[in-house]
Amino acid sequence: MKLQKLFYVVLLSASIFSCKQNQNQEEAAMSESAESSSKEAKMASSSAAVVDPKSDRKFIRTADLRFKVKNVAQSTYSIENTVAKFGGFVTSTELRSNILNTSTTKINNDSLLENTRFYVENNMIVRVPNTMLDTTLKTIARQIDYLDFRIIKADDVSLQMLSNQLSQNRNSANQQRVQEAIQNRGKKLGETLDAEDRLHNSQTESDEAKLSNLSMKDQVNFSTLSLQLYQREEIKSEKVTNPDNEEFRTGLGVRLLDGLKTGWHILEEIIVFIANLWAFILIGFGIWFLYRKFKSKPKA
């Protein structure tokens, strides 16, 4: 009885130890997976030029990435969904298969094995809200199998935008003065035309500065990501029909019939050609007839 109880105690202890060991292994695996995901996210993530919303600085942030994925088509769909989820949009996507070479091997008289080496790539340009750039990059990093390069830039355009705004203000004040001058003192035609030309130039400069500011504001609010995705080369093998197979040659009877038809067509063309030359034939016959006639006359 004591031996039986001892056996149960040992068995229970072994079970508890085994469960703890499995739990530790699962925790280690989960920790390793989380660490791997964190490393992948760090490869594509960037906190460059993350500015306090209260700051007056304005940055145009861009990212340029090239990386290998398991499947370009699936990763493309995933990235498109990610961009839409974070309030962005796709401006360009070029998904294509590039054929490296094609070779054929004869299997038998009827069939050939066609082998095509190719790789799939996609060049994408997407726009995402500036505040969601880092989050988007971290999410895209899950698709990366191998990272070729990652270039992230942040251009400070605060002074340029301020310069455009000051230029607009100056041109606005100048336009008002010119308009008043045209109304009050523009009595002569030449003076009026010169003033209107200056007004037009001032308005053009003001419009250009305004459009430049609007363009920069758009680039500040929405970051641009240029993504180049590619996958490992693949080989597609396909069984095709052998075009040189003797069985696909036209039968002798059909070829003989075609030959007779072709010969008859040639004869028709010859007859038509001769008919087109009837005038020359008639002239030649007349010359020959006169020659024979004069030749047959006896000499006096």
- % of the chain with per-residue pLDDT over 70: 61
Each residue of 214-239: pLDDT tens digit? 877 888 889 999 999 999 998 888 88
Q: Give the pLDDT confidence score for residue 34 in this predicted structure.
A: 44
- Given a cut of 60, is residue 71 above it in pLDDT? yes
- Given a cut of 90, is residue 80 above it in pLDDT? yes
Alpha-carbon separation of residue 84 from 66, 72, 98, 132, 134 (angstroms): 21, 18, 28, 11, 15
Each residue of 170-209: pLDDT tens digit? 666 555 655 555 566 555 545 554 555 565 566 666 667 7
State how far the Cα of 98 lies from the Cα of 103, in Å rounded to an integer. 15
Q: Which of the pair, 253 or 249, is modelled with greater confidence?
A: 253
Instruction: Provide the pLDDT confidence category of residue 37 given band limits of 50, 70 and 90.
Output: very low
Each residue of 112-134: pLDDT tens digit? 888 899 999 999 999 999 889 89
* Helix/strand/coil for 5: helix
Q: What is the mean pLDDT of the chain?
A: 75
Q: Give the pLDDT confidence score for residue 185 in this predicted structure.
A: 57
Number of other CB atoms surrounding residue 225 within 10 Å: 24
Do the beta carbons of residue 126 and residue 62 sit within 8 Å?
Answer: no
Give kind and range of the element (H or E) at residue 230.
strand 222-230
* Helix/strand/coil for 99: strand
Strand 59-68 relative to strand 146-156: parallel, antiparallel, unpaired? antiparallel
Q: Give the pLDDT confidence score for residue 172 in this predicted structure.
A: 64
Each residue of 5-34: pLDDT tens digit? 554 555 555 555 555 555 555 555 445 444
* Residues in CB range of 58: below 8 A, 6 or more apart: 156, 157, 158, 161, 216, 217, 220
* Helix/strand/coil for 114: strand
